[in-house]
Amino acid sequence: MNVPIESGISIKDLNKKFTIDKKQVSILENINIDIKQGEFVSIIGSSGCGKSTLLRIIAGLDNDYEGTAEMDGQKILKPSLKRGVVFQEHRLFPWLTVSENISFGLKNKSRDEKKDIVKQHLELVGLNGFEKAYPGQLSGGMSQRVSIARALANDPEVLLMDEPFGALDALTRIQMQEECLKIWNKKNLTIIFVTHDIDEAIYLGDKIVIISQRPGKVKKIVPIDVGRPRDRNSHDFSEIRKLIYKEFFSNQKEVFNYTI
Ligand SMILES: Nc1ncnc2c1ncn2[C@@H]1O[C@H](COP(=O)(O)OP(=O)(O)OP(=O)(O)O)[C@@H](O)[C@H]1O
Ligand SMILES: [Mg+2]
Protein backbone atom coordinates (compact mmCIF):
# COMPACT_ATOMS: atom_id res chain seq x y z
CA MET A 1 0.00 0.00 0.00
CA ASN A 2 1.28 3.45 -0.86
CA VAL A 3 1.76 5.70 2.14
CA PRO A 4 0.48 9.17 1.20
CA ILE A 5 3.22 11.79 1.18
CA GLU A 6 2.38 14.77 3.36
CA SER A 7 2.68 17.95 1.36
CA GLY A 8 4.33 20.87 3.12
CA ILE A 9 7.05 21.38 5.67
CA SER A 10 7.28 19.33 8.83
CA ILE A 11 9.72 19.97 11.68
CA LYS A 12 9.78 17.27 14.33
CA ASP A 13 11.56 17.23 17.68
CA LEU A 14 14.28 19.52 16.36
CA ASN A 15 17.17 20.38 18.65
CA LYS A 16 20.03 22.59 17.53
CA LYS A 17 23.24 23.38 19.37
CA PHE A 18 26.13 25.64 18.46
CA THR A 19 29.61 25.53 19.92
CA ILE A 20 30.26 28.95 21.39
CA ASP A 21 33.49 29.56 23.31
CA LYS A 22 34.23 25.78 23.24
CA LYS A 23 30.90 25.04 24.93
CA GLN A 24 27.86 23.42 23.40
CA VAL A 25 25.02 25.90 23.68
CA SER A 26 21.43 24.87 23.05
CA ILE A 27 19.88 27.26 20.51
CA LEU A 28 16.64 25.55 19.50
CA GLU A 29 14.88 22.97 21.67
CA ASN A 30 12.15 20.53 20.85
CA ILE A 31 10.77 22.46 17.87
CA ASN A 32 7.64 20.95 16.30
CA ILE A 33 5.96 22.86 13.48
CA ASP A 34 3.76 21.71 10.60
CA ILE A 35 3.28 24.01 7.64
CA LYS A 36 0.76 23.08 4.98
CA GLN A 37 1.44 23.64 1.31
CA GLY A 38 0.20 27.13 0.44
CA GLU A 39 0.21 28.37 4.02
CA PHE A 40 1.65 31.75 5.05
CA VAL A 41 3.38 31.32 8.39
CA SER A 42 4.85 34.18 10.39
CA ILE A 43 7.60 33.44 12.91
CA ILE A 44 8.29 35.94 15.67
CA GLY A 45 10.68 35.93 18.58
CA SER A 46 13.24 38.19 20.19
CA SER A 47 16.70 38.75 18.77
CA GLY A 48 18.98 35.74 19.12
CA CYS A 49 16.20 33.20 19.80
CA GLY A 50 17.16 31.16 16.73
CA LYS A 51 14.79 32.33 13.97
CA SER A 52 17.46 32.60 11.26
CA THR A 53 18.97 29.32 12.43
CA LEU A 54 15.58 27.63 11.99
CA LEU A 55 15.14 29.16 8.54
CA ARG A 56 18.63 28.03 7.49
CA ILE A 57 17.74 24.48 8.55
CA ILE A 58 14.52 24.58 6.50
CA ALA A 59 16.48 26.02 3.57
CA GLY A 60 18.88 23.05 3.80
CA LEU A 61 21.87 25.28 4.60
CA ASP A 62 22.47 23.61 7.97
CA ASN A 63 21.95 19.93 8.64
CA ASP A 64 23.85 19.60 11.88
CA TYR A 65 20.94 19.10 14.28
CA GLU A 66 18.86 16.44 16.01
CA GLY A 67 15.33 15.64 14.88
CA THR A 68 13.85 15.96 11.42
CA ALA A 69 13.03 18.67 8.94
CA GLU A 70 11.04 17.41 5.95
CA MET A 71 9.45 18.83 2.86
CA ASP A 72 6.69 16.79 1.18
CA GLY A 73 7.74 13.79 3.25
CA GLN A 74 11.41 14.00 2.15
CA LYS A 75 14.21 14.87 4.56
CA ILE A 76 15.74 18.26 3.87
CA LEU A 77 19.43 17.58 3.45
CA LYS A 78 20.69 20.39 1.24
CA PRO A 79 19.49 23.53 -0.52
CA SER A 80 16.94 22.98 -3.27
CA LEU A 81 15.44 25.14 -5.99
CA LYS A 82 12.08 24.24 -4.45
CA ARG A 83 12.96 26.57 -1.58
CA GLY A 84 13.84 30.18 -2.33
CA VAL A 85 15.42 32.33 0.36
CA VAL A 86 15.27 36.08 0.93
CA PHE A 87 17.90 36.89 3.53
CA GLN A 88 17.85 39.44 6.34
CA GLU A 89 19.86 41.91 4.26
CA HIS A 90 19.68 41.82 0.52
CA ARG A 91 22.67 39.97 -0.84
CA LEU A 92 22.84 41.34 -4.35
CA PHE A 93 26.05 41.30 -6.32
CA PRO A 94 26.95 45.00 -6.64
CA TRP A 95 28.88 44.47 -9.87
CA LEU A 96 25.91 42.85 -11.66
CA THR A 97 22.88 44.64 -13.04
CA VAL A 98 19.38 43.99 -11.69
CA SER A 99 18.71 41.57 -14.59
CA GLU A 100 21.98 39.74 -14.05
CA ASN A 101 21.31 39.45 -10.33
CA ILE A 102 17.89 37.95 -10.97
CA SER A 103 19.10 35.50 -13.61
CA PHE A 104 22.28 34.58 -11.72
CA GLY A 105 20.98 31.31 -10.23
CA LEU A 106 19.06 30.14 -13.30
CA LYS A 107 20.45 26.88 -14.53
CA ASN A 108 19.83 25.05 -17.80
CA LYS A 109 17.98 27.92 -19.40
CA SER A 110 18.60 29.46 -22.80
CA ARG A 111 19.38 33.17 -23.16
CA ASP A 112 15.84 33.86 -24.31
CA GLU A 113 14.28 31.88 -21.48
CA LYS A 114 16.39 33.79 -18.97
CA LYS A 115 15.33 37.06 -20.54
CA ASP A 116 11.67 36.06 -20.28
CA ILE A 117 11.99 34.98 -16.66
CA VAL A 118 13.74 38.22 -15.72
CA LYS A 119 11.09 40.30 -17.50
CA GLN A 120 8.25 38.42 -15.86
CA HIS A 121 9.72 38.77 -12.37
CA LEU A 122 10.65 42.43 -12.76
CA GLU A 123 7.03 43.02 -13.59
CA LEU A 124 5.88 40.94 -10.63
CA VAL A 125 7.90 43.03 -8.15
CA GLY A 126 7.14 46.33 -9.90
CA LEU A 127 10.62 47.10 -11.20
CA ASN A 128 9.99 47.46 -14.91
CA GLY A 129 12.60 49.66 -16.52
CA PHE A 130 15.31 48.97 -13.95
CA GLU A 131 16.84 45.92 -15.60
CA LYS A 132 20.11 47.70 -16.39
CA ALA A 133 20.47 49.49 -13.04
CA TYR A 134 23.14 48.42 -10.54
CA PRO A 135 22.26 47.67 -6.88
CA GLY A 136 24.11 50.84 -5.81
CA GLN A 137 21.57 52.86 -7.79
CA LEU A 138 18.56 51.37 -5.99
CA SER A 139 16.76 52.28 -2.78
CA GLY A 140 16.50 49.75 0.07
CA GLY A 141 12.97 48.78 -0.93
CA MET A 142 13.96 48.33 -4.57
CA SER A 143 16.92 46.16 -3.58
CA GLN A 144 14.64 43.94 -1.52
CA ARG A 145 12.30 43.67 -4.52
CA VAL A 146 15.24 42.43 -6.59
CA SER A 147 16.09 39.89 -3.86
CA ILE A 148 12.51 38.65 -3.92
CA ALA A 149 12.52 38.48 -7.74
CA ARG A 150 15.78 36.51 -7.62
CA ALA A 151 14.37 34.08 -5.05
CA LEU A 152 11.22 33.61 -7.18
CA ALA A 153 12.98 33.27 -10.54
CA ASN A 154 13.60 29.56 -9.98
CA ASP A 155 9.89 29.06 -9.38
CA PRO A 156 10.20 27.72 -5.81
CA GLU A 157 7.29 26.10 -3.99
CA VAL A 158 8.38 27.59 -0.69
CA LEU A 159 9.70 31.08 -0.02
CA LEU A 160 11.71 31.57 3.17
CA MET A 161 11.88 35.22 4.15
CA ASP A 162 14.15 36.34 6.99
CA GLU A 163 13.07 39.79 8.19
CA PRO A 164 13.02 40.94 4.58
CA PHE A 165 11.53 44.35 5.35
CA GLY A 166 13.38 45.03 8.59
CA ALA A 167 15.57 47.78 7.13
CA LEU A 168 12.75 49.62 5.34
CA ASP A 169 10.86 52.72 6.43
CA ALA A 170 7.30 52.21 7.72
CA LEU A 171 5.52 53.26 4.51
CA THR A 172 7.67 51.18 2.16
CA ARG A 173 7.27 48.29 4.55
CA ILE A 174 3.48 48.41 4.35
CA GLN A 175 3.68 48.60 0.55
CA MET A 176 6.05 45.60 0.47
CA GLN A 177 3.68 43.62 2.69
CA GLU A 178 0.92 44.17 0.12
CA GLU A 179 3.22 43.10 -2.72
CA CYS A 180 4.22 40.04 -0.76
CA LEU A 181 0.60 38.94 -0.29
CA LYS A 182 -0.07 39.55 -3.98
CA ILE A 183 2.87 37.36 -4.98
CA TRP A 184 1.88 34.67 -2.48
CA ASN A 185 -1.59 34.52 -4.04
CA LYS A 186 -0.42 34.68 -7.61
CA LYS A 187 2.30 32.05 -7.26
CA ASN A 188 0.43 29.79 -4.87
CA LEU A 189 3.48 29.73 -2.61
CA THR A 190 4.12 28.50 0.88
CA ILE A 191 5.74 31.39 2.75
CA ILE A 192 7.66 31.23 6.00
CA PHE A 193 8.20 34.79 7.11
CA VAL A 194 10.44 35.75 10.03
CA THR A 195 9.84 39.15 11.58
CA HIS A 196 10.29 41.14 14.78
CA ASP A 197 7.22 43.17 13.97
CA ILE A 198 4.07 41.89 15.68
CA ASP A 199 1.66 43.82 13.42
CA GLU A 200 3.46 42.61 10.31
CA ALA A 201 3.19 39.01 11.55
CA ILE A 202 -0.55 39.38 12.18
CA TYR A 203 -1.21 41.24 8.93
CA LEU A 204 0.48 38.58 6.79
CA GLY A 205 0.20 35.19 8.41
CA ASP A 206 -2.34 32.39 8.44
CA LYS A 207 -0.73 31.55 11.73
CA ILE A 208 2.04 32.91 13.93
CA VAL A 209 4.69 30.75 15.54
CA ILE A 210 6.04 32.46 18.66
CA ILE A 211 9.55 31.37 19.61
CA SER A 212 10.69 31.91 23.19
CA GLN A 213 14.02 33.37 24.23
CA ARG A 214 17.12 31.20 24.04
CA PRO A 215 17.00 28.30 23.91
CA GLY A 216 14.27 28.91 21.36
CA LYS A 217 11.18 26.80 21.93
CA VAL A 218 7.76 27.06 20.31
CA LYS A 219 5.97 29.08 22.95
CA LYS A 220 2.67 29.27 21.14
CA ILE A 221 1.14 28.87 17.70
CA VAL A 222 -1.57 31.47 17.11
CA PRO A 223 -3.99 30.94 14.21
CA ILE A 224 -5.07 34.17 12.50
CA ASP A 225 -8.65 33.52 11.57
CA VAL A 226 -9.21 36.98 10.10
CA GLY A 227 -10.18 37.40 6.44
CA ARG A 228 -8.01 39.39 4.03
CA PRO A 229 -7.54 42.25 3.34
CA ARG A 230 -7.02 42.80 7.06
CA ASP A 231 -7.77 45.99 8.89
CA ARG A 232 -5.05 46.77 11.44
CA ASN A 233 -7.57 48.79 13.46
CA SER A 234 -10.28 46.13 13.59
CA HIS A 235 -11.40 44.50 16.82
CA ASP A 236 -10.21 41.03 15.74
CA PHE A 237 -6.78 42.34 14.79
CA SER A 238 -6.44 44.19 18.11
CA GLU A 239 -7.44 41.10 20.07
CA ILE A 240 -4.71 39.04 18.42
CA ARG A 241 -2.21 41.86 18.99
CA LYS A 242 -3.15 41.91 22.69
CA LEU A 243 -2.75 38.16 22.97
CA ILE A 244 0.71 38.28 21.43
CA TYR A 245 1.87 41.22 23.56
CA LYS A 246 0.72 39.24 26.56
CA GLU A 247 2.86 36.28 25.49
CA PHE A 248 5.92 38.50 25.22
CA PHE A 249 5.51 41.05 27.95
CA SER A 250 3.25 39.63 30.66
CA ASN A 251 6.12 39.71 33.18
CA GLN A 252 7.25 43.17 32.16
CA LYS A 253 4.08 45.26 32.33
CA GLU A 254 5.70 48.16 34.12
CA VAL A 255 8.60 48.35 31.65
CA PHE A 256 6.51 48.43 28.51
CA ASN A 257 3.53 50.34 29.89
CA TYR A 258 1.20 48.42 27.60
CA THR A 259 -2.32 47.64 28.69
CA ILE A 260 -2.80 43.90 28.67
N1 LIG B 1 27.43 29.92 13.11
C2 LIG B 1 27.19 30.14 14.41
N3 LIG B 1 28.08 29.73 15.35
C4 LIG B 1 27.83 29.91 16.66
N5 LIG B 1 26.71 30.48 17.13
C6 LIG B 1 25.81 30.91 16.26
C7 LIG B 1 26.00 30.77 14.84
N8 LIG B 1 24.93 31.29 14.20
C9 LIG B 1 24.10 31.74 15.18
N10 LIG B 1 24.63 31.52 16.40
C11 LIG B 1 24.00 31.85 17.67
O12 LIG B 1 22.71 31.28 17.69
C13 LIG B 1 21.78 32.16 18.31
C14 LIG B 1 20.61 32.32 17.38
O15 LIG B 1 21.03 33.06 16.23
P16 LIG B 1 20.02 33.47 15.09
O17 LIG B 1 20.79 34.22 14.08
O18 LIG B 1 19.30 32.26 14.64
O19 LIG B 1 19.02 34.41 15.90
P20 LIG B 1 17.78 35.26 15.37
O21 LIG B 1 16.59 34.84 16.16
O22 LIG B 1 17.70 35.15 13.89
O23 LIG B 1 18.19 36.73 15.80
P24 LIG B 1 17.91 38.14 15.05
O25 LIG B 1 16.46 38.43 15.32
O26 LIG B 1 18.78 39.09 15.76
O27 LIG B 1 18.21 38.00 13.62
C28 LIG B 1 22.54 33.43 18.64
O29 LIG B 1 22.82 33.45 19.99
C30 LIG B 1 23.81 33.34 17.85
O31 LIG B 1 24.88 33.88 18.58
MG1 LIG C 1 17.96 36.51 12.32
148 and 163 in a single domain? The answer is: no
Residue 230 falls inside a structural domain: yes
Residue 27 sits at the vertex; the CA angle it makes with 79 and 157, to the nearest 5 degrees, is 25
CA of 248 to the centre of ligand 2 (A): 18
Which DSSP string corresponds to 142-190? HHHHHHHHHHHHT--SEEEEESTTTTS-HHHHHHHHHHHHHHHHHHT-E
Question: pLDDT tens digits for the chain (260 residues)?
Answer: 455 456 899 999 999 999 999 999 999 999 999 999 999 999 999 999 999 999 999 999 999 999 999 999 999 999 999 999 999 877 899 999 999 999 998 988 999 999 999 999 999 898 999 999 999 999 988 999 999 999 999 999 999 999 999 888 899 889 999 999 999 999 999 999 999 999 999 999 999 999 999 899 999 999 999 999 999 999 999 999 999 999 888 765 554 555 54
Closest atom of ligand 1 to CA, residue 46: 25
Any domain includes 136 = yes
Distance in angstroms (rounded) separating the CA atoms of residues 170 and 45: 20
Q: Are residues 250 and 179 in the same domain?
A: yes
Tell me the backbone φ, ψ of residue 71, rounded to 5 degrees. -125, 130
Indicate whether 65 and 163 sit together in one domain: yes
Q: Which domain holds residue 235?
A: 8-82+158-256
Q: Is 108 left (phi over 0), alpha (psi -120 to 50) or beta?
A: left
Residues 189 and 68 in one domain: yes
Q: Is 31 in the pocket of ligand 1 (CB under 6 A)?
A: no
Domain count along the chain:
2
18, 25, 87: which to mutate for ligand 1, most atoms within 8 A of CB? 18
Q: What is the pLDDT of residue 257?
A: 54
Boundary residue ending a domain (136, 155, 174): 155
Q: Give the per-residue pLDDT at 214.
A: 85
Q: Are strands 83-86 and 158-162 parallel, antiparallel or unpaired?
A: parallel
Check if 53 has its Cβ closer than 6 Å to any atom of ligand 1: yes
pTM, 2 dp: 0.93
Q: Can you give the pLDDT at residue 255?
A: 47
Asked if 19 and 74 sit in the same domain, the reply is yes
Look at residue 172 in the predicted model and tell me its pLDDT.
Answer: 87
pLDDT of 90: 72
Closest C-alpha to 26, from 213, 249, 248, 193: 213
Nearest CA among 81, 88, 63 for reference residue 11: 63
What's the rounded Cα separation, in Å, for the pair 155 and 150?
Answer: 10
Kindly give the distance from the C-alpha atom of residue 57 to the centroid of ligand 2, in angstroms, as a whole number: 13
Rounded Cα–Cα distance for residues 9 and 31 (Å): 13
Q: 112 CA distance to ligand 2 centroid (A)?
A: 37
Say if residue 142 is in the same domain as residue 183.
no
Beta partners for 2?
A: none
Ligand 1 atom at minimum distance from 88 CA: 27
Q: Is the shortest distance between the CB of 20 and ligand 1 below 6 Å?
A: yes
| Distance of CA 197 from the midpoint of ligand 1 (Å) | 18
Give the other-Cβ count within 10 Å of 20's Cβ. 9
Domain-ending residue, one of 133, 155, 177: 155
